[in-house]
């Protein structure tokens, strides 16, 4: 089974956004030499806990810091931008790092309503139309140079582009996204760590409704899972308190920097260490020793017939995050 990395560039308590971005560079180097398949960076806006609003900038730097790992967005929040601009940016990245770029797109805002409004060019009153489907089709046409000859955009070229629609992944956490990916014949990544209630339903719907396309002859899906590995179960459980508190703060609309385990234990009180994904078939975060996590992830992948998982790890201590990915790589024999 293949493993990849999803990095949200977490900002730890006592650190700056610059520190978090430098941590990302160090983690990407580790992932590159440890056998991970992809390194995707996420887009979030105005969040005190996450440092990356512009994955394309970070990808450009990571390409210069790594040698073989695929780099991508997990993902670009397409409703904020024109499809043409996204295509131009990723065409440029593909020219810099040919054969190594993925374009993951989603329709979530990556922030709150105010941030979404600030990102809008048209700020007339009233809701804007949900035209994500049309944007996605247009983006594919840009990447594949597939506008009809009588279309005005047919004359526009993306210089030095080595990217095609085959490099585009649709991201989501709903049944709508799984249906859209299946209908268009695109690869699909489901955010289980974010919303795991419908993970099996989404992956199975994608697989059963998949329509072969120029991009894929068969379905290709992966699931994003939270993981914290440590040398002992006790250490892993302690590290996981930080992300447990972060998830609670996000639900309460109070995202702050990633707290230390000691701070998290104090704030969580009696709920510290209790499962926070009740009612789900699998936990949002797999926590434990490398062998335990490997076996748990393998069972999940086998149940969903997946050949790849993408792993997101958030800890207060950056060294512990590096160690978690290193232990996971060794447990799966990636390097």
pLDDT tens-digit profile of 191-232? Answer: 999 988 999 999 999 999 999 999 999 999 999 999 999 999
Whether residue 247 is contained in a domain is answered as no
Residue 20 belongs to a domain: yes
Phi-psi region of 80 (alpha: psi -120 to 50; beta: other; left: phi over 0): alpha
Domain residues for the domain of 320 are: 2-238+275-332
What's the pLDDT at 126? 65
Higher model confidence: residue 118 or residue 25? 25
Residue 263 included in any domain: no
Phi, psi of 37 (to 5 degrees): -80, -45
Q: What is the CATH number of the domain that holds 182?
A: 3.20.20.30
In a domain, 259, yes or no: no
Domain total in the chain? 1
Q: Could you tell me the pLDDT band of residue 277, with boundaries at 50, 70 and 90? A: confident
What is the pLDDT, as a whole number, of residue 127? 65
Q: Does a structural domain hold residue 262?
A: no
pTM above the 0.75 mark?
Answer: yes
115 in a structural domain: yes
Rounded to 10 degrees, what is the CA torsion of 287, 195, 32, 185?
A: 140
**According to the model, what pLDDT value does residue 128 have?**
66
Taking each continuous run of H as one helix and of E as one strand, the counts in the chain are: 11, 10
């Amino acid at each position: 089974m293949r493993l990849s990395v999803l990095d949200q560039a977490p900002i730890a308590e006592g650190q700056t956004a610059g520190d978090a971005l430098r941590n990302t560079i160090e983690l990407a180097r580790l992932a590159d030499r440890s056998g991970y398949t992809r390194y995707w960076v996420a887009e979030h806006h105005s969040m005190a806990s996450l440092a990356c609003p512009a994955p394309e900038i970070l990808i450009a730097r990571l390409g210069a810091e790594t040698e073989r790992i695929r780099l991508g967005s997990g993902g670009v929040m397409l409703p904020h931008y024109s499809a043409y601009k996204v295509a131009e940016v990723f065409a440029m990245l593909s020219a810099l790092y040919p054969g190594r770029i993925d374009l993951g797109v989603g329709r979530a805002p990556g922030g709150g309503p105010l941030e979404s409004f600030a990102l809008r060019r048209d700020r007339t009153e009233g809701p804007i139309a949900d035209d994500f489907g049309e944007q996605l089709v247009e983006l594919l046409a840009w990447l594949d140079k597939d506008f009809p000859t009588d279309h005005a955009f047919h004359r526009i070229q993306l210089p030095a582009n080595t990217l095609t629609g085959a490099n585009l992944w649709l991201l989501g956490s709903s049944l709508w996204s799984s249906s859209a990916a299946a209908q268009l014949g695109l690869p699909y990544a489901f955010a289980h760590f974010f919303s795991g209630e419908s993970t099996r339903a989404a992956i199975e719907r994608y697989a059963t409704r998949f329509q072969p396309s120029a991009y894929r002859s068969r379905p290709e899906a992966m699931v994003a899972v939270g993981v914290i590995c440590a040398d002992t179960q006790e250490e892993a459980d302690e590290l996981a308190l930080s992300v447990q508190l972060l998830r609670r703060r996000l639900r309460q609309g109070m995202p702050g920097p990633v707290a230390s385990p000691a701070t998290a234990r104090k704030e969580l009180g009696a709920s510290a260490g209790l499962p926070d994904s009740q009612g789900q078939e699998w936990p949002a975060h797999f926590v434990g020793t490398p062998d335990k996590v490997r076996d748990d992830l393998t069972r999940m992948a086998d149940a969903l017939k997946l050949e790849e998982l993408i792993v997101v790890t958030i800890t207060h201590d950056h060294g512990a995050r590096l160690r978690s990915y290193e232990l996971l790589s060794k447990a799966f024999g990636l390097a």
